[in-house]
Amino acid sequence: MILKTRYEPDELKIMNLLEPRMNFTEKEKQRHYRLKKGYEGEVKYDRWMKSLEIQNLTLNDLLLEASNTTFQIDSSVITQNKLLLFEVKDFEGEYYYEDERLKIIYGEEIKDPLLQLKRNTSLFRQLLASLGFHLEIESYVIFINPEFTLYQAPKNAPNILPSQLNRFMKKLNKRQSKLNNIHQKIADKLLELHTVDNPYKRLPKYEYEQLKKGIVCGECHSFVDQVVKREFVCSHCGSHEKIDTAVLRNIEEVRLLFPDKKITTTLIYEWSNGALSRKVIRNILSDNFNVVSTKRHQYFEVSSK
Ligand SMILES: [Zn+2]
């Protein structure tokens, strides 16, 4: 049973929104790519985990703290005798180990997920012990991309390669697992200790004035400029979107990018770069939200998600 589902992280959502509207530095491009790959990998992993049949409590993307160190676990699966920790990697291509270092074939050394796994497992163990729970931890790096090959992997390393995924799942499904209220208590405690990350601290610096304005296609993220019969039409990918839907989506964009800004007709008019008249925008806003009028301003109350 999945107790904590995975969502597209806000940091990735925001980077996706910023990408067409500003120029990323090389470093920011890499960070954006890593976030996208990370999330894609986790989505694939979630699909694979649907085959787990034994009783379990699954908590995805927990952010915890032990010994004054914050650590994130892609997936924690509570079963009868073991707490399984999974670190998910969507690496693609050929990799090899040399002198205990992980390298890309014809490329440079990269951060070894085994080291991260080891560190996180140790922190998780300390945390469970400090809470007075005694459940053995077993942890693995799951290489979820079928296009991944690893040479010279250290023997007995807890790596599950793409060709081993099926067999590994079969083995898990043969385990005994009857859960009781202690397992539930562990899950509840972990959920309680889960902290929410502030996605804004790692983002590129951006200001409202500096971002390119306009309606961005919801499918291909290019700017759309055509309105045909109350629909935006994207000349890049051909997708259509009703103007109401597009405006509401853009309000969500502005709210995620600028949580402190008040939603006004002028703001959305500017944000869409005059693609629609103020009147059309005002109508869409008043149809969907409550208007709040002060002496000098009028804005719309958009309730939280
Ligand atoms: Zn498009």
pLDDT single digits (tens) 75-120: 999 999 999 999 999 999 999 998 888 999 888 898 999 999 999 9
Q: With a threshold of 0.85, does the pTM exceed it?
A: no
Distance between Cα 214 and ligand 1 center (Å):
13
Question: For 133-189, what is each residue's pLDDT tens digit?
Answer: 999 999 999 999 999 999 998 888 999 999 999 999 999 999 999 999 999 999 999
For ion ligand 1, residues whose CB falls within 5 Å: 217, 219-220, 234, 236-237, 239
Distance between Cα 38 and ligand 1 center (Å):
24
* 120-129-198-50 Cα dihedral, nearest 10 degrees: 70
Distance between Cα 16 and ligand 1 center (Å):
14
Distance between Cα 230 and ligand 1 center (Å):
16
CA distances from 139 to 114, 159, 248 (A): 10, 9, 43
Ranked by mean pLDDT, which of 18-27, 97-106, 284-293 comes out on top? Answer: 18-27
CB neighbour list of residue 293: distance below 8 Å, 6 or more residues apart: none
Domains and CATH numbers, the chain: 2-200 (3.40.91), 207-301 (no CATH)
Distance between Cα 81 and ligand 1 center (Å):
50
Q: What are phi and psi for residue 97, nearest 5 degrees?
A: -100, 135
